[in-house]
Structure 1
Amino acid sequence: MTYEEAVSWIHNRLKFGIKPGLERMNWMLQQLDNPERRITCVHLAGTNGKGSTLTYIRSILEQAEYKVGTFTSPYIESFNERISINGTPIPNEDIAELVRIVKPIAEALDETEFGAATEFEILTVMAFYYFGKINPCDIVLLETGLGGRLDSTNVIYPVLSIITTIGYDHMHVLGETLEEITSEKAGIIKSGVSVITGVSQQEALAVIAEEAQKRRAKVYTLGKEFSAGHTQSTADGETFTFESPFGIMENLSITMKGTHQVQNAALALMAVYYLKTYQSFLVKDEDIHHGLKKAFWLGRFEQLSDHPRIVIDGAHNPEGITSLVQTVQSHYADKRITVLFSALGDKKIAEMVAGLETIADHMVFTTFDFPRAISPELLATHCSMEQKEIYQDWKEAIDKIKPILTEEDLFLITGSLYFISGVRKYITESR
C-alpha cells in the first residue's frame, strides 16, 4: 500500500462521522494485543489550550533529552503531524505500514454489532500501535479529539490528566450547560491519577472536584495549588513567574503571545514538576527556561509576515476569540486592524463576530471548502460595522487586501483551524 492510498483510506472513514463511545476502540485494540497498555502517557482534555499546553510540556521534556510522542488534532501543516515524535511528524512509510496493520481489523469491525470505526478512531488506534509497538517513547502526550468521557483516546490509563479550560463548544455533542460539558471533559479522570486544571468557573470546578473525589484523584488547580504571575508583554512574547508546592521560578519567558499562553505554560510547568516528583523525570531549571522559550505551535497567533504584518490565529469559539482580542490589545493596540474571518456553522457566531468587532477597523467575511463552513453572507448578518466586505473566495480576499496594507496595519486572519490551515499554506507558499 502506498502512502497516498493509506491516507485516502483513512479519509474515507470520514463518512462515518462522529460516534462517541469506546466499544469500537476496545474491540480493535484487543485484536492488536492492547498496545495502549505499553504507553506511559499524559492525557489532555479541554475546550481551548490543549495544543499549546502539550507543546510546552513537549518542548521542556525534549530539552531534558526525553523522547516525547504526541497525538494531536486537527493538523495545520501536514496530515502526518497528528502523530509525531519530538515535533517531527511520522514518516509516510510508517503511515502506510500502520494502515496495512489496522485496515483488516477495522474491516472486521465493520461486520460486528459495533459498526464501522470513524476516521478519528482509526487514527487513535494507529497512534497507540505506533507508540506501543513500533516506536516506543519515554512519554506520550495525548490530546482528546472531542470531550473526554466517550472520546476514543479515553481507553488509556495515564500517569497524569490535564483539563485545560472549559467553554461552550461542540454543544450538540457535549451538552448545553457548563456542568454538562465539564462532566464530559472530567470523564478522563481515572482512579488515583492526579489532575491538573486551568478551569476557572466555580460550577465547572465543582464538577471536576466531585469526579476526582469519586476516583480518589488529587486535583491541582491554577490559581489555587499553583499560580502564574504575568509580569510583562513584550515584542517577543510574555514573561511571568510560577509558584507551586514543588517550586518557584522567576523570569520565565515564552514567545507565544497572550496572557492565555501564560496560563497554558503554567499548566505545562505544573505537569513537568509533577512528572519530576512522582515519575522520576530528570528536568533541570535550564531545560524549563529553554523549553518554554523554544515552544511554538502552528496557527496560534502566528505572524506569517512582517511587511505587511499578517497574523493568523485559530480562534474557533467564543473563548478563543476573547483570548485573541486580549492579545491584540496587548501587542497591537496602535495598529489599524483588518480582520478576515471564516467559521463553521455549529459555532456561536454572533458572540465571535461581536468580539472581533471590538478590535477591527475593517471586517471581511469569507468561506472555505469544508462541509460545515458557513456562508460569508450569513456571517456578515451578525456584524454591525459599516466597514465590512464579503468574499466567496478567501484567496481573492487575501490577494486584494495584502497590497494595500501599510506599516500602520495589522492583517488578522482568524476562525476555524481548518480554514487557518489552508491560509497558512497559501501565504507561506506565495512569499
Structure 2
Amino acid sequence: MTEQLQKTGNGRLATYEEAREWIEGLVPFGIRPGMERINRLMSAFNHPERRLKFIHVAGTNGKGSVCAYLTSVLLRCGYDVGTYTSPYITKFTNRFRYNGSDIPEETLLQLSNELKPHVEAIAATELGSPSMFEVSTALAILYYATVSYPDFVVWETGLGGRLDVTNIVTPIVSVITNVGHDHMDILGDTIADVTREKAGIIKPGVPVISAVSQSEAIDIIASTAKSRNSSLYLLGDKFSETAIEVRENEQTFRFNGLFRPIEPLTITLNGAHQRTNAAVAVMTLEIMRQYYALIMEDDDLREGLRDAAWPGRLEMVTQSPRVLVDGAHNPEGAETLAAALRDTYRYERLHLMIGMLSNKNHPDTLRHILPLVDTLVVTEPDFRKAMSAGVLAEIVQGMREQLGRHFELIVEPNWKQALERLQTLTGEADLAVVTGTLYLIADVRSQLLYNKESEKGW
C-alpha cells in the first residue's frame, strides 16, 4: 500500500483506469467502520451532502432490489435520480448511476483528482488513509451534489448502518429491508447486535420503513424509532402484499397499505422475497407521496415496478442450457434461492455451482441448497478472500453424510473450467445455477453475456 501511495504521490491521475486503480488500491485498508474520515472529507468540500434528498436503504438482503424498484419508479415519474449501490457486477462505474446510466469515465477521473489530495492529507494524520468505500462514497456525493444534481438519491449502505460511511447523510426517509446472519464478524454475534447497527440509520423525525421479521429485531427497530420521534411503517403492521399470480419471470400482487390498497402490481424479478422488496419500495414511495409531495401516478408506479431489473439476483442469463445466477452469499439468501427453486422454476435435474468467500457462514448457507441438488460443482471465486474449493468440498461431504443425500460432487478450483463442466452437464430439461459470492457471479455473468473479463471490487 505504501508503494501505491508513493507511486501516485501528489501527481494527478491521467486516465479513468488510473483513477479506478487508485481507488481500488485502497482496498487493503479494509473495512473500517467509523465516521471520522468521511466527515473530514466532506468538511473539505463544505458538506455537499446536505444539499441532497436521500432515500437511505439498509438491510442484510434485498437492499439492491429495493433500490432498483425505487429508482425505476421515480424515473418513470419524471424525476432525476442518482443511485449509489455496491458491490458492482460488471464495471466500477456501476456504483454511481444517474438516471439509469453509469457515471462517465471522464467525470469519475475529474472527481478522483479533486478528492486525491484530501485523501492523502488524511492518510498522513492519526486517522490513517480513507478506505476504498469511504473514497467511493465521497465521490458519489460529489457527483450528485456538484455535477448531476438529481431530485432524489437512492442511497444504499455498504455494511451495517450506524458506523457505515453512508450514514453521514440525513435522508428524507430511511429503509431497513431485513436483518440476517451476515458480516457478524464486524456487526456483532447476534441478530439483536446486527439490528442495532442497522437501526443506526434512523434519524430524528425521519420516517422509517422496514420488513424485519424477528421479534427481537422488531423490538429494537421500534424502540429506536420511538426514541428518535420517527414514524415506523412495518411490514405486517402498516403494509403487506398478497400474491395474485406467480409464474417464472412475472409476479402479480396486491399492495395493502396504510393509506390505500393498490392492485394489480406486477414485477418481473423472481422469488417471493421480491414481492416483499417491491412492497417495501411501494410503502416508501407512498410515504414520500403523502409527506413530501411526490407526484406519482398509479400507471407510473405500475410501469416502474415492471421495468425494474437487478442483475445477478435470480437472473436467467442463458437459455440453452438454462443458467440462472444468484448471489446467495449468506444463509438468508440461500433460503430465498431454495424457495424460488422449489416454487418458481421447473426442471428435471438441478446442477449447482458455488464459490464462496472464507469469512461466510458456510454450513448454514449450504443446508438450504444441498437437499435440492443433483450435482454440486464447488469452485473458487477469483478474489483475495476466496475460500479454497477443497475446504468447501470437505464441509459439503460432511453435510452430505449427515443429510443422507446422494448427489454428485465435483471439485474444480478454476471457475472457468467449473462453468464449462456445469454447462456440459445441463440438459435441455435441466437447470444450472451459479451461486455464492457476487465476485463469482460477476465473473460468470460477464463470461456468459460479454465473453470478457469483468472489473471487480467491493
Query: Which residue of structure 1 aligns with residue 268 of structure 2?
Result: 255
Query: Which residue of structure 2 aligns with residue 20 of structure 1?
Result: 33
Quick check: 1:243 aligned with 2:256? yes
Distance 1:58 1:396 in 2: 37
Contact 2:347–2:431 (CA<8 Å) still a contact in 1?
no
Distance 1:263 1:57 in 2: 13
Q: How far off its partner does 1:430 sit?
A: 4.1
Q: How far off its partner does 1:214 sit?
A: 1.0
Query: Which residue of structure 2 aligns with residue 356 of structure 1?
Result: 369
Q: How far off its partner does 1:333 sit?
A: 4.2
Quick check: 1:406 aligned with 2:412? no
Distance 1:430 1:53 in 2: 29
SS in 2 for 1:332: coil
Query: Which residue of structure 1 aligns with residue 315 of structure 2?
Result: 302
Amino acid at match of 1:207: I
Counterpart mapping for 1:171-320 below 5 A: 171-320=184-333
Query: Which residue of structure 1 aligns with residue 153 of structure 2?
Result: 140
1:263-294 deviation per Cα after TM superposition (whole angstroms, max 9, x unaligned): 00000000111111111111100001101111
Quick check: 1:163 aligned with 2:184? no
Quick check: 1:8 aligned with 2:21? yes
Q: Which segment drifts farther, 243-252 or 48-57? A: 243-252
1:95-125 deviation per Cα after TM superposition (whole angstroms, max 9, x unaligned): 1011010001101111222221000000000
Distance 2:437 2:362 in 1: 11
Distance 2:160 2:394 in 1: 30
Q: How far off its partner does 1:134 sit?
A: 1.3
Quick check: 1:378 aligned with 2:391? yes
TM-score, normalised with respect to structure 1: 0.98
Contact 1:237–1:258 (CA<8 Å) still a contact in 2?
no
Contact 2:272–2:340 (CA<8 Å) still a contact in 1?
yes
Q: How far off its partner does 1:9 sit?
A: 0.5
Contact 1:60–1:291 (CA<8 Å) still a contact in 2?
yes
Contact 1:25–1:125 (CA<8 Å) still a contact in 2?
yes
Contact 1:197–1:221 (CA<8 Å) still a contact in 2?
yes
Amino acid at match of 1:400: R
1:17-37 deviation per Cα after TM superposition (whole angstroms, max 9, x unaligned): 111100111111000110100
Aligned length: 431
Distance 2:384 2:361 in 1: 17
Distance 1:368 1:236 in 2: 28
Q: How far off its partner does 1:405 sit?
A: 2.2
Distance 2:82 2:187 in 1: 28
Contact 1:344–1:373 (CA<8 Å) still a contact in 2?
yes
Query: Which residue of structure 2 aligns with residue 368 of structure 1?
Result: 381
Q: 1:426 aligns with which of 440, 447, 451?
A: 447
Distance 1:182 1:402 in 2: 40
Quick check: 1:390 aligned with 2:403? no
Q: How far off its partner does 1:247 sit?
A: 1.8
Distance 2:348 2:101 in 1: 36
Query: Which residue of structure 1 aligns with residue 61 of structure 2?
Result: 48
1:387-424 deviation per Cα after TM superposition (whole angstroms, max 9, x unaligned): 11100111111112313422211000000011100110
1:121-144 deviation per Cα after TM superposition (whole angstroms, max 9, x unaligned): 000000111111111100001000
Q: How far off its partner does 1:243 sit?
A: 1.1
Q: 1:32 aligns with which of 22, 39, 45?
A: 45
Query: Which residue of structure 2 aligns with residue 69 of structure 1?
Result: 82
Q: 1:110 aligns with which of 104, 123, 127?
A: 123
The verdict on how the C-alpha distance between 1:178 and 1:255 changes in structure 2, with shifts beyond 3 A counting, is: same
Query: Which residue of structure 2 aligns with residue 340 of structure 1?
Result: 353
RMSD: 1.1
Amino acid at match of 1:399: E
Amino acid at match of 1:132: A
Q: How far off its partner does 1:386 sit?
A: 4.1
Which 5+ residue runs of structure 2 have no aligned equivalent? 1-13, 401-405, 453-458
Contact 1:232–1:238 (CA<8 Å) still a contact in 2?
yes
Q: How far off its partner does 1:236 sit?
A: 2.7
Distance 1:314 1:404 in 2: 21
Contact 1:233–1:330 (CA<8 Å) still a contact in 2?
no
Distance 1:320 1:124 in 2: 25
Which 5+ residue runs of structure 1 have no aligned equivalent? none
Q: 2:340 aligns with which of 309, 320, 327?
A: 327
1:339-359 deviation per Cα after TM superposition (whole angstroms, max 9, x unaligned): 000111111101111211121
